[in-house]
Amino acid sequence: MSRRTIALALLIAFSALPAAAEEKKLLFGDTHLHTSNSFDAYLNGNGTADPDTAYRYAKGLPVVHPGHRARVQIETPLDFLVVADHAELLGVVPTIVERGVPREDLGLLDTVMAWAGEQWLRGVIEDGEGAAAFGSLLPEPNETVEEAAANPASFPIPGVETMMHTVWNQAILTADAHNDPGHFTALIGWEWSSIPAGANLHRVVFTSAGAEVAAEFVPWSSSDSMYPEDLWKWLDETSAATGARFTAIPHNSNISKGYMFPEEKRLRGTPIDEAWVKQRAKWERVVEATQFKGDSETHSSVSPDDPFADFETYPFYIQQNAPEYDPKPADYVRSALRTGLAIEERIGFNPYRFGLIGSTDAHTGLSSAEEPNFWGKFPADSTPESKGSEAGPGRRRTGWSMSASGLAAVFAEENTRDAILAAFERREVYATTGPRIVVRVQAGTGFQPGDEEMPDTAVSGASGSVPMGGELTALDSPPSFLIHAAKDPKSAHLDRVQLVKGWLADGASHEKVYDVAWSGDRVAGADGRVPPVPDTVDLETATHSNEYGAATLAAVWTDPDFDPSERAFYYVRVLEVPTPRHSLFDAIALKIDPKATGYPSSIQERAYTSPIHYRP
């Protein structure tokens, strides 16, 4: 066995050691899971998977699926979970259907309205028309995004505040009951779901506080305001009043209609200024780059030279009579990172120096990011038949449109609320599309070829180096990156490791993807690109071979195009060899041609690390 093979085997062993053996533990979790307390989940068939069910599933216990009622179980338990139900109408729909509107303190008119609302909503659920009712609540295309943002939706339901407060208090007590420091962390959170005219501006918010502190507030919702800066202001005020620490995580920028990562003007139409930039950078240090509703890393329209750009694209806006998908630079993470460099050059601060994670956004209460164990976005699209129920010409949205993704990987000193939030704050996190790929990155000027063979270097890094999420400043020589990647023992071998660079030169931003380590004896072409790895997925058995690929890949890469005067960012992308997509498993089960699903039969799962920035 070679020295390199031994060293990399030791690296995998190091990743499983307790905190005493290394500075930080690698934890995997989900920061974006909906239960029956979310109005859209309940209307779409999740009447039973509540927060308690969500935590039990995440811990590895068998639970009952809220749709088809079969016993289901996660293959590998999570280390942490955020139940992030919508703040809008939090728990109101199940409360009305199952217990009725609280009548205390209601006048005659409100009592009549409460009774009428109960009868209508219960009828909707009994008649199986919840999905249609949900669709009727989606934004209509009769306003501009700016007009819609100025007019947040209101819900004139008697007793709504009382119901929301009661459900919130129950939810945070359930989180505390499941929180087990050192073993499993239940973080308290919610989703702020601003979606003016179908432009997705959603944020997940979570705190390290427990139920005692969280009981001092009720989640801020888009009914209070659709403007992100108003959410940040509320976080400022609530943190000061309660002592709670928060982080806000944008998600599904891929369907934001160009409004998630603006360059010149904020949603209110006023110019981006220093105060706005600083406020956003304070609260939004991490972005969700991949989840069920598609991947937000990049798109071929903004990264035309990247052959791996169009991955799990989700071209469906969340609104009635949605227009055709029109991707824009402000919809995608990589172009946002480039925009951040330009804003920093202009204003002096970077609002988009964020880390990357993945999470699910499942509305089943089941955090199912495992391709052969994928339980759908809603209960209504959780079986092979129901996933394909909307299939037809034009690639309309179906259950197969969804991606079984993703997970948040966190380097934390311990598995606790405070330690996990601290990792988010310093951006020492990364995204995977489901598999638990291990990725470690250190950047500095002290790495030399051959250092990748030393496991002690992989753990501690060279003096003066920074990990993912860090920043290098005023270098006299090109930065080097020490990169180690190891496969998920339950998943596929690795195809390649890439370094994605963005930089600012002569007032314009640029990007380039470098192949820095790869499996087998493939040779990079004149353009530096490594040929594709063979796709071994068997269309009849939904299996793949690890004949190609490698269990571990490592490299020391030095930027050959470095200019010390140019702002830049660097992040690592790790790709597995092709494996079966959930649509193939379903096609075989249904005994149909896999092409009939309208989606690929194989998928190259991947991981994205948080960027390391360089500032002159």
pLDDT tens digit string along 488-505? 999 999 999 999 999 999
pLDDT tens digit string along 345-403? 999 999 999 999 999 999 999 999 999 999 999 998 899 999 987 543 344 789 999 99
Comparing 530 with 160, the larger pLDDT belongs to 530
pLDDT given for residue 22 in this prediction: 53
Whether 244 shows a pLDDT value over 70: the answer reads yes
| Signed CA dihedral, 134, 138, 142, 148: sign only | positive
**Could you give the residue ranges of the DSSP H alpha helices within 365-405?**
384-387
Contact at 8 Å (CB) between 131 and 42?
A: no
**Could you give the residue ranges of the DSSP H alpha helices within 357-478?**
384-387, 417-425, 455-460
Whether 141 shows a pLDDT value over 80: the answer reads no
CA 76 vs. chain centroid, Å, equals 19
Is this model's pTM higher than 0.85 or not? yes
Average pLDDT over residues 436-445: 96
Coil/strand/helix, residue 382: coil
pLDDT tens digit string along 404-414? 999 999 999 99
Averaged confidence pLDDT in the chain: 92
pLDDT given for residue 288 in this prediction: 98
Tokens of 178: 């499941």
Comparing 305 with 451, the larger pLDDT belongs to 305
pLDDT tens digit string along 314-344? 999 999 989 999 999 999 999 999 999 999 9
Average pLDDT over residues 165-186: 98
d(CA 531, CA 416): 43
The maximal CA–CA distance of the chain, rounded, in angstroms, is 82
pLDDT given for residue 4 in this prediction: 43
Q: Residue 341: which H helix or E strand, with range?
A: helix 333-347
* 608 beta partners: 431, 573
pLDDT above 90 covers a percentage of the chain that reads: 82
pLDDT given for residue 462 in this prediction: 59
Band (94; pLDDT cuts 50, 70, 90): very high
Write the DSSP assignment of 452-466 as a string of letters: GG-HHHHHH--TT-E
Band (124; pLDDT cuts 50, 70, 90): confident
Average pLDDT over residues 263-286: 96
Average pLDDT over residues 467-491: 96
For 285-316, b where at least 16 C-beta lie within 10 A, e where not — what string?
bbbbbbbbbbbbbbbeebbeebebbebbbbbb
Band (463; pLDDT cuts 50, 70, 90): low
Comparing 11 with 358, the larger pLDDT belongs to 358
CA nearest neighbour of 296 among 342, 358, 361: 358
| Range from 100-104, 167-171, 388-392, 440-444 carrying the lowest mean pLDDT | 388-392
d(CA 492, CA 515): 19
Whether 296 shows a pLDDT value over 70: the answer reads yes
pLDDT tens digit string along 585-611? 999 999 999 999 999 999 999 999 999
End-to-end CA separation in angstroms for the chain:
43
d(CA 70, CA 55): 18
Contact at 8 Å (CB) between 24 and 458?
A: no
Contact at 8 Å (CB) between 595 and 571?
A: no
Whether 306 shows a pLDDT value over 90: the answer reads yes
Whether 157 shows a pLDDT value over 60: the answer reads yes
Q: Residue 585: which H helix or E strand, with range?
A: helix 582-590
pLDDT given for residue 277 in this prediction: 97
Q: Is the peptide bond before 123 cis (omega within 30 degrees of 0)?
A: no
CA 282 vs. chain centroid, Å, equals 19
Contact at 8 Å (CB) between 189 and 235?
A: no
DSSP 184: B
d(CA 75, CA 423): 26
Tokens of 331: 């919809």
pLDDT given for residue 118 in this prediction: 83
Tokens of 449: 């070829």
Q: Which residue bears the tokens 């199912």?
A: 368
Whether 18 shows a pLDDT value over 50: the answer reads no
pLDDT given for residue 446 in this prediction: 84
Comparing 122 with 18, the larger pLDDT belongs to 122
Domain boundaries, the chain: 1-24+438-616
DSSP 31: E
Band (54; pLDDT cuts 50, 70, 90): very high
pLDDT tens digit string along 524-535? 999 999 999 999
Contact at 8 Å (CB) between 548 and 520?
A: yes
d(CA 122, CA 127): 8
Whether 107 shows a pLDDT value over 90: the answer reads no
Whether 239 shows a pLDDT value over 50: the answer reads yes
Average pLDDT over residues 510-533: 96
Comparing 108 with 92, the larger pLDDT belongs to 92
| Range from 238-247, 266-275, 365-374, 390-399 carrying the lowest mean pLDDT | 390-399
Quote the Cα angle for 179-181-186, to 5°. Answer: 30
